[in-house]
Each structure stands twice: as structure tokens, then as C-alpha cells.
Amino acid sequence: MPDAKTYNGGCHCGRVRYEVTCDLAMVIACNCSICAKRGALWTFAKKPQFKLLKGADALSDYQFGQKRIHHLFCASCGVGSFSEGAAPNGDETAAINVRCLDDVDVSTLPVKPFDGKSL
């Protein structure tokens, strides 16, 4: 990850907080049913680059479809700041909602559309 940087992020109420090292050179806007409704913008990090600092007890899990992705959200404020699952190559991965990273201006990031609706 040549342009990787460490960020902090979390939910709206602050019960869920994490640290992640990732590269924001490629941000994904997925059009699947949940991402479109959430308005999420995603980047990805291998599990060792993601550390949940607090809030494991505040997380609720939502799964649908093939139930391969854990769409986690704060039970208090409802914000889904990250998800977890296996990448297509089998690596355990954290999907980070870039909108939930502290001090990141998403309007400055390159966003690539992803057709998740067709999967």
C-alpha cells in the first residue's frame, strides 16, 4: 500500500471507534441495495490493518443475500461505519465507510462506481 495512511473513524455517537491503515486512492461507490440506501463510500483494508478501539458491545450485525458480509452498525445511533467479510481471494477484510473517517473530505477523493446491484 504505497499511499497508505492511518486514520481514525467511527459512528456518529462515538460508541464505536476504530483505527485503520488504508489507501484512499481508490474509493468505491457501490449501487447494491444496502450501499445505495446508506450512501456509503468504501475503501478496504486487510484485517490486520484494522483495529476496533471500542464499541464491540455496541455493534449489531445485519446480513442479507449470500450472508458473506457482516454489515455492522452502532445499535445506538444506527451508523454503519465499517463492515467485515472475506475478499474474493479469501483474505479477511474490513470495508471502511470513508464517510465515517475523521478529517477526510470525501469530495476530494476519486470515486469509482461498482455495480453491486448485478451480483
119: in domain? no
93: in domain? yes
pLDDT of residue 64: 87
Averaged over successive runs of 10 residues, the pLDDT of the chain (119 residues) comes to 87 98 94 91 96 97 87 96 92 96 95 90
22 contacts 45 by C-beta, under 8 angstroms: yes
pLDDT of residue 42: 96
84: in domain? yes
108: in domain? yes
36: in domain? yes
30: in domain? yes
14: in domain? yes
Q: Which of 11, 25, 6 is nearest to 54 (CA)?
A: 11
d(CA 44, CA 95): 5
Q: What is the CATH number of the domain that holds 92?
A: 2.170.150.70
The model's pTM: 0.92
What is the count of structural domains for the chain? 1
